[in-house]
Each structure stands twice: as structure tokens, then as C-alpha cells.
Amino acid sequence: MGQQMRPAKMLKLLESGQRIPVMDGSEQQDVHAALNDEEGKDRISSLPDCILHYILSFLPTKEAVATGILARRWKDLWTAVPILDFDDSKLYSSHVNYWYPAEITRFMNFVERVLLLRDVSNIERFRLSCRVCFSASRVHAWISAAIRHNVKELDLCFFVDEPFLLPHRVFNCGSLSILNVEMNSIIQLPNSISCPGLRILHLGLVTFPDDISTQRLLSSCPVLEELAILDCDWINMRHISISIPSLRKLIIDDLPTFDSRAYCWGCEIKIDAGSLIFFKYSGYLSNDIHLIEVSSSVKALLHIPMVQEAQNPLMYSRLIKLFLQLKNVSSLGISGCTIESLFFREKMPNDLPEFQKLTRLELSMQLGVHCGGALMKFLLHLPNLESLNISKGLDPAMYLTEDDWTPKSAAKSFMSSLKTLVLRCFRGNSTEVCLLGYFLKHASSLERMIVFCHKSPLDDSKEQEDMKNELQSHPRVSEYCMIVFF
């Protein structure tokens, strides 16, 4: 534990507007004593308005407004709080009338009161989550009010029964830096779009209207750095180009809610982003992903749960194509079922490239029962792999011997470069020990084997200890290899 900070010093940080560290219970009592002198004077109320606004911004908006009754000093402070958060989700329970309960009316009146009484100060962050069906026009007015206050971050989550038109100013707001829109509806876009300062754009559950307007949106964000497209519907789309020179982070969560086998053509998504450093794709490849000139600086994450769908030649060709486009990456995170999809035919895919620049591989999900052999086949394509992280461990139902882990091919080039192996959720079963023993036996450059034990009352601690001792005494080809357990 680090040295505790004196209350006087923490008070000085607070008064200067600097962020103070998280405090434990005793430290909080010390600060409370420092803020109230021996005469009982309320020192916190004497802090500058900007500091009190900062403090209030950490409270839910309803509680921030409630501080107005504390004293005259606090009466109007809430009207300039930089963060506003309105969420009607707490209104819905089994005993509440769904359509027009008094709670919903109070919620809408509360939002309007906060916005009407607000002073002229800017809004840093405005979050609104609600059902639009109660009053679409009022929701529209609330968003417009936030924009008039030069909002920087706009977070909108709507549940709609019919298409809802967002204010056009949402897509023509010069102050906006972050925009999150989650809405189970077509996102209707204006003919003119200008987002000159937008750095982060997240779209969730929306249905894209057509190629032209969607392309207009993506082409009107000249400084965009992060784009996330999460569970959106591309059914109206055929071609789209994500060509943004400033883009650094791209996330596409493309999991459909319908049978992907009935929708195999999809949309061609062309991605040309020279500054990209992070790419994550999760989905069934119902859309055709076309990455252009992916550099070695990109960290890629893939989850493609399509083992059965891989029997479809079109889907399988898209899978191989995606791996070809990522052949220059230096860091790759991948799920076990994605690897299994590559080798479902139980033979090496002829077009799968060698990843000459890949040095770090992370298995991002638990390695399934049938993934062991596929993993070893995939590793043969990584001749310069230095770090392997099995971050979610092995399926406890997996049963494999050391022979099962050994690739049928004699080529084991990755074994000469591997330096670090991490296995999490170690339960101490024979399959795990066989896997680790195989690497100890063949990884000639291995320096560190790091094993995180699974912590559960149901685990056999004695078996874990026995297996740990067995691994420590296991023969190893690398004389410098250390095995560390946590």
C-alpha cells in the first residue's frame, strides 16, 4: 500500500481543480474533518463554482439537481453541471403501466425542467436513454437543446416503435467530438452533413438507409479517429468505402439476428485507413470485408463463430481472404472457433498465408474441445511468433494427449522463436499439463511460462499442486526457461 496523502494536501489538490486519488474509508474521514474546521464551518461550499460543478458532475443528474435544496450557496449550482445523464430504464417494472404511467410523465417533465433552467454554459456530455414512443417531438427538442449548448459528447440510446428522425443538427454540429447512437431503427441522414470536429463515432443497432447517404456520413468526418459499427443492419447496402486517413481504431460487430446462410452476398465494405492501429471484427462474414494495405502496426482481433457456415464456399473464401489481408500484422487476437473454421476440412487451406511479421498471438476466448489440433496447425503459419497468450484457458471437457498436440507436419519453425507462453484458468488437468509439457519440450527459445491458476472452491487444489510440481520437474529444451505460477 502506498503512503497515505495528508488531508491538507488533498484539500489543496481539490481547491486547485486537480484530480485526487481514490481514497479508502479512513482517508475519507480525514478529508471530511479537513473540510470542516473546529467551528463546524462548511469549507466545501467556499470552493469555487468550477470545482463544485466538477464534483457534481460525478453524481447522477437527479441527485445533482437535488443538491439545490442544501443551502442558498447550492441553489443554482446544478444549472451549470457539465454532464447531464437522463435514463428512463428504471421506470419499467412489472407493476408499472407500460404506456403513460405517472413516472414517465415525471421523467419527461424533469428532463425539460433541467434543460429550461440551465444557464448559458456549455454541456460537456449529454446522455439520453429512453423510449421515443411516449413523445418523439419532446425527445427531438431535448437533443436540440443540448446542441445549442455546444455539447461535445452526445450519447443517444433510443427504443422506437417507428422510424425516428434525429435532428439534422446532430450531423452538422461543429462542437461535437464524440457521438454514440444506438437505435433499433433506420438512421435517416440529412442531405448535408458536416462533422468537422468528430473524433469518435459509435453506431449501434441502426439500419443503414442506402449506399449514398451512409457514404456521405462517413466522408464528412475528416478527423475521425475511432469508428464502431455494432450489430447494425446492412440489408439496404451494397457498397461502402471507409476511407478516412485519420482513422486509428475500427470495430465492426457484424453478428446478424437472422440466419446468415440465407443472406450471403451482403455489402462490400472497403476499408482504406493508413493510420489504422486497431481493427476488430466479430461476425459471420455475411458482408465482404476488403482491407487495403494493412500495416504491421495494426493490432487485429477476430471472432468468427462460423464453423458450420464455413462449409459454404463463399463464406470460406471470405474467411481466407480476411486472413490474407491481415498477413502483415504483428499482433493478433483470435477466438478458437475462428481457428477451427479455418481447418474444419481437416487439411491445410492452400491459400492461408504465412504471417512473417506476427510476433504476438492471443487466444481471446476459451479454447474449445475441438480446437487443439486446429491451433497447432495455425501455429505452423507463424514462423516468428514470440508470445502466445491463451487468455481464457482450455475447455475443462477437452481431453488430449501430447501426441494430439503435436502437428502432423514436421515443420515446427514457430518453436524456435517462441519466448513467452501465458496460460490462464489453469485447473491442473492432464490436457493442460500435456500442452505445457509439449512447449517445454520443443520451444528452444522459451524464456517465460506464466500460468495463472483457476480460483474456485470446486477446483481440486491438491491436483493443481501436484500438476504444478510435475511441470516444474518436466524436461525442458530451453535451459533459461522459468515457470511462474500465480
What are 72-108's pLDDT values in tens digits? 767 777 777 888 999 887 665 544 445 556 778 888 8
Q: Which of 246, 248, 250 is nearest to 270 (CA)?
A: 250
| CA pair distance 449, 422, nearest whole angstrom | 6
SS (H, E, C) 148-160: HCCCCEEEEEEEC
Residue 421 parent element (H or E): strand 420-426
> How far apart are alpha carbons 290 and 450 in whole angstroms?
37
pLDDT for residue 411 is more than 80: no
Per-residue pLDDT tens for 184-211? 999 999 999 999 999 999 999 999 999 9
**Residue 391 Cα distances to 93, 287, 363, 465, 482, angstroms:** 38, 28, 6, 21, 19
**In this structure, what C-alpha cell is assigned to residue 110?**
424533469
Instruction: Note the pTM of the prediction, 2 decimals.
Output: 0.82
Average pLDDT (439-459) is 85
- Helices 102-117, 136-148: inter-axial angle, 10-degree rounding: 20
Q: What distance in Å separates the CA atoms of residue 360 and residue 244, rounded to the nearest whole number?
A: 27
